[in-house]
C-alpha cells in the first residue's frame, strides 16, 4: 500500500495533512452548560486522532451563545475558551493529526436554545419560521450582521492563538450562513438578500474579516450544501440553491481568501440526504421529547414519530427526495455481502457528482462528505477527480480506527457502519456513540461500555490558563 492515494499527504495553501481522511464535524453534548469544555471532549477527539485520521474538523463550535444549537457544546465566543481549545489541539497533535475548528452559528436552526436564550427568537436572514420543527426567528438587522461578522473573525483569532491548524466556516446544512445563501430561505430586500451575489455577501464578508484578523497564512475552509433540496421534507417550500449557484459561490469564496471547500448537501439538519440512511422511529420517539418546547411544529412531528400508524406518512415525506437523486457516481460491486453492497450503493458517496462539479471550477482542494468507509471507493473518488479528500463522521464513530484498517489492506472494516443513524438520533438526549446493537453481538452492556468510554479519560488534566495575544 506504499503508493496508496488515501495515505498520501494533502497539501493546502497553508497546511499539510498526512492523509486524505478527515473526521467530519460531529457533535456530542460533552461540555458544560456555559460552553466551557470538558475532558470528555478531549477524550472524544483523541479517539479519532489515535485511529489514524489526518485531520479532525471539530463539532459545531458556536461563536456566540445566541448561536448555539443546544447547550453543552464547547464555544469559542470569548478569550477564556482559548486555553481549553489549546489543550484539545495539543492532545490531537500527539498523533500527528491536525485540528480544524468549525466556527458556527445556528441562526434559526436552534434545536434547544438553552436558558440564556429563553424568550429570545433566534437570529436569521429571515423572520420566516423554520418549517420542519417550527423554530421561531427574527431577521438580523444590519448592525447585528456586522457584529456577527466580527464574532467569526474573533473566533478565528482565538483558534489561531490556541495553536490550532485552521478553521472551517459551517456554511451548509441549514445553519446561519446557509440561511443567507439559500434562495429558499433568504427573503431579505437589502444588500444581503435577493440576487445570488447579495445572498453570498455575508459569507464573503466573514472570509475577508477573518483574513484581516489573522492574516493570509492561517488555513480557512468552508462547508457548503452544494444543492439545498429545501423542499425535501415540506413540499411547498422553495427548493433553494442549485448546484450551479453553489459553484459560483465557491469561486467567489476562493477569490475572497478560502483555502478549501467542504461539500455537503441539504438546507436543514438532519436532512433526508444528510445524513443519508435509515430514520429509526424507535430511537427518535425516545429522544425527540427533549425538543417539544423548541418549535411550533415539534408536537406534530412527535405524533408522527410516536404512533406507528402514522409512520408511513413521515417515511413518504422523508424518503421521496431520495428518488430524485441521480445514480451514484460509481459503486462497490465487488463487495461480497449482498446486504452491505446494497447499503453502500444507496448511501456511500452520494455527493461526489456535486463535489466534482465544484472541483472542476475552483483551484483549491475540495473535500467531500457522505458515508465513506470503503477503501477502493475512496481511492477511486480521489483518483478520478471527484474530490481531493473525504470527510467521515458516522463511519468513524462505528470504527474509530477505520484509517488504520484501510492502511492494513482491508477494503471494509471488520464491522462496517450500517447507516442506521442511531448515533445522531440519540445525540439530542444521550451521549454520542454507536447504538447499533448488532455490531456488539447484541450485547447491550458491551455497547454501553463503548459509548461511555469517552468519560474515562484523565480527569485531572490541567492546562495553561494564560490568554495570549495575536500579532498579525
pTM over 0.85: yes
> Of the candidates 108, 97, 77, which has an alpha carbon nearest to the alpha carbon of residue 15?
97
- When the pLDDT of each residue in the chain is averaged and rounded to a whole number, the result is 95
Note the pLDDT of residue 459: 44
pLDDT value at 471 more than 60: no
Cell numbers 448537501: residue: 265
Cβ atoms within 10 Å, residue 206: 31
Cis check: omega of the bond before 296, within 30 degrees of 0: no
Note the pLDDT of residue 387: 99
pLDDT band at 221 (very low <50, low <70, confident <90, very high): very high
Joined together, the cell numbers standing for residue 327 give 445514480
Q: Which CATH number fits domain 5-277+326-418: 3.30.420.40, 1.10.3720.10, 3.40.640.10, 3.20.20.70?
A: 3.20.20.70
Most distant pair of Cα atoms in the chain: their distance: 62
User: Is 307 among the residues known to form the active site?
Assistant: no
Joined together, the cell numbers standing for residue 15 give 497546511
Please write the tens of the pLDDT for every residue from 91-110: 999 999 999 999 999 999 99
Burial 358-381 (b: 16+ CB within 10 A, else e): bbebbebbbbbbbbbbbbebbbbb
Identify the active-site residue in 33, 73, 95, 175: 175
CA distance 106 to 67: 5
Note the pLDDT of residue 82: 99
CA distance 102 to 175: 12
Please write the tens of the pLDDT for every residue from 184-204: 999 999 999 999 999 999 999
pLDDT value at 466 more than 70: no
Exposed (0-12), middle (13-18) or buried (19+): which is 236, by Cβ within 10 Å? exposed
> Of the candidates 367, 422, 372, 434, which has an alpha carbon nearest to the alpha carbon of residue 402?
372
Amino acid at each position: 500500500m506504499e503508493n496508496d492515494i488515501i495515505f498520501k499527504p494533502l497539501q493546502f495553501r497553508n497546511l499539510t495533512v498526512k492523509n486524505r481522511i478527515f473526521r467530519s464535524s460531529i457533535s456530542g453534548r460533552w461540555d458544560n452548560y456555559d460552553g466551557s469544555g470538558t475532558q470528555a471532549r478531549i477524550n472524544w477527539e483523541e479517539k479519532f486522532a489515535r485511529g489514524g485520521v489526518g485531520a479532525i474538523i471539530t463539532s459545531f463550535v458556536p461563536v456566540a451563545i445566541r448561536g448555539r444549537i443546544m447547550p453543552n457544546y464547547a464555544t469559542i465566543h470569548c478569550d477564556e475558551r482559548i486555553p481549553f481549545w489549546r489543550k484539545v489541539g495539543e492532545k490531537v497533535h500527539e498523533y500527528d493529526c491536525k485540528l480544524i475548528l468549525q466556527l458556527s452559528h445556528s441562526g434559526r436552526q436552534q434545536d434547544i436554545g438553552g436558558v440564556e436564550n429563553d424568550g429570545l427568537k433566534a437570529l436569521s436572514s429571515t423572520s420566516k419560521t423554520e418549517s420542519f420543527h417550527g423554530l421561531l426567528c427574527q431577521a438580523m438587522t444590519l448592525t447585528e450582521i456586522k457584529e456577527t461578522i466580527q464574532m467569526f473573525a474573533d473566533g478565528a483569532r482565538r483558534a489561531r492563538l490556541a495553536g490550532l491548524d485552521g478553521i472551517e466556516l459551517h456554511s451548509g446544512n441549514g445553519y446561519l450562513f446557509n440561511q443567507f445563501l439559500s434562495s429558499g430561505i433568504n427573503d431579505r430586500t437589502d444588500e444581503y438578500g435577493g440576487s445570488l451575489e447579495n445572498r453570498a455577501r455575508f459569507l464573503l464578508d466573514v472570509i475577508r474579516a477573518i483574513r484581516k484578523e489573522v492574516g493570509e497564512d492561517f488555513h480557512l475552509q468552508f462547508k457548503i450544501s452544494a444543492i439545498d433540496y429545501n423542499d425535501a421534507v415540506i413540499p411547498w417550500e422553495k427548493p433553494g440553491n442549485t448546484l450551479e449557484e453553489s459553484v459560483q459561490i465557491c469561486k467567489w469564496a476562493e477569490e475572497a481568501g478560502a483555502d478549501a471547500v467542504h461539500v455537503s448537501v441539504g438546507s436543514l439538519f438532519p436532512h433526508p440526504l444528510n445524513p443519508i440512511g435509515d430514520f429509526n422511529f424507535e430511537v427518535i420517539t425516545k429522544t425527540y421529547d427533549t425538543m417539544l418546547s423548541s418549535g411550533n411544529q415539534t408536537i406534530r412531528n412527535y405524533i408522527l414519530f410516536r404512533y406507528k400508524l402514522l409512520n408511513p406518512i413521515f417515511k413518504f415525506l422523508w424518503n421521496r427526495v431520495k428518488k430524485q437523486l441521480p445514480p451514484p457516481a460509481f459503486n462497490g460491486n465487488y463487495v461480497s455481502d449482498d446486504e452491505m453492497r446494497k447499503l453502500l450503493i444507496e448511501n456511500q458517496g452520494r455527493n461526489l457528482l456535486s463535489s466534482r462539479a465544484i472541483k472542476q471550477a475552483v483551484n483549491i482542494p475540495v473535500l467531500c462528505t457522505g458515508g465513506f468507509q470503503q477503501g477502493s471507493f475512496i481511492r477511486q473518488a480521489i483518483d478520478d477527480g471527484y474530490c481531493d479528500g473525504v470527510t467521515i463522521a458516522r463511519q468513524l464513530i462505528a470504527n474509530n480506527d477505520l484509517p488504520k484498517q484501510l492502511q492494513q489492506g482491508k477494503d471494509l472494516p471488520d464491522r462496517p457502519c450500517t447507516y442506521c443513524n442511531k448515533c445522531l438520533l440519540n445525540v439530542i438526549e444521550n451521549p454520542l456513540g454507536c447504538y447499533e446493537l448488532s455490531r456488539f453481538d447484541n450485547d447491550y452492556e458491551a455497547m454501553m461500555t463503548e459509548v461511555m468510554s469517552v468519560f474515562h479519560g484523565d480527569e485531572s488534566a490541567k492546562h495553561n490558563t494564560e490568554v495570549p495575544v495575536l500579532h498579525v
